[in-house]
Structure 1
Amino acid sequence: MDLRERWLDLVAAVRSVAAQAPAPSGDGVLEQPELALRDTNPWSSLAELADFSRAFRERTIDRPFETRRRINQALSRLRELDTFAAVMAAAPAALAHACEVGRVMISRISGSTWLPGNLYVATGEDDPVNRSLREYIHELRIQLTNGMLEAEVVRRRAPALVTDAAAEPRTFEPLVRIARSRAYVVAPVVAGGSVAALLHADNYPSARLLTPLDRDNLHAFAEGLAVIFERAVTLERMALQRERVRQFFADAEETVGALYAAPVRLTRSQPPTAAPASAAAPERRSELDLLTPREREVAALLSSGARNADIAARLTVSETTVKSHVKNILRKLQVSNRSEVISRYLRLAHDGEQRS
């Protein structure tokens, strides 16, 4: 086989691979240089073929790897955020820059309800279409029904590519119409065993078509985002538990302080014929009698170290009602805080037991 025949075989092979490869993201369809024999010199034609091969490699191999690198960098930055809300707010912009798409919307999924949320627009924030879209999705609630594309994405937990949104009957038509999306990709964010969110992306107003590679990139970002969601929720729960433990020990310290301040009296038991109790006891007992039966119950529970929430659960009332009782107790016993209530109640209760 001479050099010319070998070159023709190489051209045919490269063209065949190019025809079968998925269209890359970025600049759209690869523009193949004209490879028809314009020069009888095979060395010149092989140089042209080498240029084509380099361009082909850049578009179909190097750029997809570059996109995945940007996705990893974006996820790394999102991982530094500590709250679920912060991640939800930052994710659309991170995805748009990493995957080079024009618009990104992140939505929450609550049961069978789709709740469109944060929208990021790469260019054209003041575009009337984008303004209308932002106004439309504000507080929008969409019921996921059988036959809807997003319902299928949630059920199968798999991404989807819509190449012709206007002709696709399973889309949510009002949203597609207002957004003027010609094509879009959607991927679920599966966290904690269920779909927590949906990611939508399109290229409005760019004419670049979305491809299966865009769908795969969005899916890769969604999988990484799911891990970040779970981490953020765990951190928030740990912070809440830490605050509850701190409050518990603060209440315990207050109760112990009140008990420590209360007087301790050691008395001998008196026979039935013992002398009557001092005149001060009836007076202190009369202070306790100023409280209603419910207020005495609240005072007794306070003295046991119970918090408002515990008292409310014990007495089957609201915390607001408990606070009202505590306020009345403070006023009637003429004290200014819970510690003084505990100290006064324990003293009055002790004197009452001695009198009886």
Structure 2
Amino acid sequence: MSAAHDTPDPLDAPDPDTMPTLDGHPGWGSRPAKESEAMRRYRDTFRDSDVDPTDDPMAVVSEAIDTKANLVRDALEARGDERALKALEAVLDLCALERELIEDGARRRTFALLQVQEALSKLRSVDDVAAIVDRAPRELVESCGFDRAVLFRVHEGRMVMESAYFGEDRDGAEKMVRFAQAVAPPLDHMLLETQMIRRHAPAIVRDARNDPRVNRPIVDFSQTHSYVAAPVMPTGKVIGFLHADRLYSGRTVDEIDRDTVWAFAEGFGYAYERTVLLERMRRLNAEVRQALASADEAARALQDADLDLRKIEPVERSPAARSLAEVQTRVMTMLTRREVEVLRLMAAGRTNQQIAEELVISPGTVKSHVKRVLRKLNATNRAEAASAYVRLASVPEPAGPASHNQPSCL
């Protein structure tokens, strides 16, 4: 799902420092709140009055309006100006309506915050990456009150839909995912999501049928009229997007909906990162246990081996030890001497800067070496590469030419 407002680009209009959050304060929640122009005007207006600084500003202003209105009403009644009295009453009714809308918005924001907290608390119990990816859109719908929600991931410059939840319409959600994956729109400069990547901010689309920034095939297939979207960026880099709408209820989404999805997307990003780390730790733990079991098997094989009275003791390796040695030889053949040094320091917990200082090379060169090491070892991160090095370092290399796997320092 991806809408135009009265202005061509809603993301260009507001300043993030003054955007309302779920608690009604300025900012997206990541910056200290500043005193607004309205609060400064309030203090100036009632500076010479006996207003208690701890009083609710809304209540103080409302009481002042009623007081001034009574004075005007008395003056108009004294003059017998019925037309002006009706106009005054209409203005007062509008003021009362404005106050009700403001109070209603504050209640909605508070309730939305509670809904987001409830949704995120459910995600904390999920310890499987595939499960939490499927669960996120569902919680946006069931806990936060939206009608439909989808989750995209950013992959090779494209938006790839990972999951969708349309309430009872499971068939519709599955069709949406299949269609969106077939389309997989590129993140070009005209797309709304590209703006969110650049600005790290959510967006609201009020007229999806006519907004030039949306992906037209996905919007037409989803039949959405308006929707809100927020980036998922647990480490500061946008890795996906959450979209939500209110198609079934027929209501146009608003700023509170936008802020709700934004708050949920931020919490979901952290929950997803935690789940990924737990899964990687479990996998690493299994690899360590397997390595220990192999080492134990090799030790038992040596311990149980028969003695033979001869000058040279033949070296017999267990199948596990031979397998590890073969892996070590194959991997070390792929790495240059410098890459082996970088891998050794990575396994010791050194940062790129520390490696650069120790090897007297630039951090950029270190970064290039790290990328090549991860690629050659088929490792997704430094931890997996370090684990591979620890396993390999525990097995002695087979005899052979010393310079066989040391072609170049770069």
Q: Answer yes or no: is the 8 Å Cα contact 1:103–1:122 preserved in 2.
A: yes
Q: Which residue of 1 aligns with 2:125?
A: 80
Within-5 A mapping of 1:235-314: 235-267=278-310, 306=324, 309-310=327-328, 312-313=330-331
Among candidates 273, 292, 303, match of residue 230 of structure 1: 273
1:99-130 deviation digits (Å, cap 9, x = unpaired): 31111000111231110121111355566xx6
SS in 1 for 2:143: helix
SS in 1 for 2:324: coil
Supply the distance in 2 between the matched residues of 1:52 and 1:149 (Cα, whole angstroms): 34
Within-5 A mapping of 1:47-86: 56=101, 59-86=104-131
Q: Answer yes or no: is the 8 Å Cα contact 2:301–2:318 preserved in 1.
A: no
Q: 1:168 to 1:52 in 2, by over 3 A?
A: closer
Q: Which residue of 1 aligns with 2:148?
A: 103
Q: 1:120 to 1:301 in 2, by over 3 A?
A: closer
Q: CA deviation at 1:70?
A: 1.2
1:189 equivalent to 2:235? Answer no
Supply the distance in 2 between the matched residues of 1:136 and 1:303 (Cα, whole angstroms): 49
Q: Which residue of 1 aligns with 2:242?
A: 199
Q: 1:267 to 1:241 in 2, by over 3 A?
A: same
Q: Which residue of 2 aligns with 1:6?
A: 66
Q: Answer yes or no: is the 8 Å Cα contact 2:294–2:321 preserved in 1.
A: no
Q: CA deviation at 1:55?
A: 5.8
| Residue identity matched to 1:207 | G
Among candidates 110, 113, 135, match of residue 90 of structure 1: 135
Supply the distance in 2 between the matched residues of 1:300 and 1:102 (Cα, whole angstroms): 61
Q: Answer yes or no: is the 8 Å Cα contact 1:116–1:140 preserved in 2.
A: no
Give the greater-gyration-radius structure (CA).
1
1:137 equivalent to 2:180? Answer yes
Supply the distance in 2 between the matched residues of 1:194 and 1:303 (Cα, whole angstroms): 42
SS in 2 for 1:187: strand
Q: Answer yes or no: is the 8 Å Cα contact 1:99–1:214 preserved in 2.
A: no
Kindly report the root-mean-square deviation, in angstroms, between the aligned alpha carbons of the 2 structures: 3.6
Could you list the runs of 5+ residues in structure 1 that have no partner in the other structure? 13-35, 41-45, 270-284, 286-295, 317-356
Q: CA deviation at 1:164?
A: 0.8
Q: CA deviation at 1:303?
A: 5.2
Aligned residue pairs total 253
| Residue identity matched to 1:170 | R
1:292-334 deviation digits (Å, cap 9, x = unpaired): xxxx9x9699656726643543677xxxxxxxxxxxxxxxxxx
Supply the distance in 2 between the matched residues of 1:314 and 1:66 (Cα, whole angstroms): 58
Q: Answer yes or no: is the 8 Å Cα contact 2:229–2:243 preserved in 1.
A: yes
Supply the distance in 1 between the matched residues of 2:305 and 2:323 (Cα, whole angstroms): 14
Supply the distance in 1 between the matched residues of 2:166 and 2:257 (Cα, whole angstroms): 17
Supply the distance in 2 between the matched residues of 1:221 and 1:55 (Cα, whole angstroms): 27
Q: 1:107 to 1:170 in 2, by over 3 A?
A: same
Q: Which residue of 2 aligns with 1:112?
A: 157
Q: Answer yes or no: is the 8 Å Cα contact 1:105–1:116 preserved in 2.
A: yes
| Residue identity matched to 1:196 | I
Could you list the runs of 5+ residues in structure 2 that have no partner in the other structure? 1-62, 73-84, 335-410
Q: CA deviation at 1:233?
A: 1.1
Among candidates 146, 151, 166, match of residue 189 of structure 2: 146
Supply the distance in 2 between the matched residues of 1:300 and 1:180 (Cα, whole angstroms): 64
Q: CA deviation at 1:60?
A: 2.0
Supply the distance in 2 between the matched residues of 1:146 and 1:184 (Cα, whole angstroms): 20
Q: Which residue of 2 aligns with 1:349?
A: none
Matched residues, percent identical?
A: 29
Q: 1:245 to 1:300 in 2, by over 3 A?
A: closer
Q: 1:307 to 1:54 in 2, by over 3 A?
A: farther
Supply the distance in 2 between the matched residues of 1:138 and 1:240 (Cα, whole angstroms): 29
Supply the distance in 1 between the matched residues of 2:241 and 2:328 (Cα, whole angstroms): 40
Structure 1's consecutive aligned runs of 4 or more residues displaced over 4 angstroms after TM superposition are: 51-58, 123-127, 266-269, 298-305
1:192-244 deviation digits (Å, cap 9, x = unpaired): 33212110111113221111111111100011111101101110111111011
SS in 1 for 2:112: helix
1:169 equivalent to 2:212? Answer yes
| Residue identity matched to 1:255 | A
Among candidates 97, 111, 121, match of residue 166 of structure 2: 121
Q: Answer yes or no: is the 8 Å Cα contact 2:123–2:271 preserved in 1.
A: yes
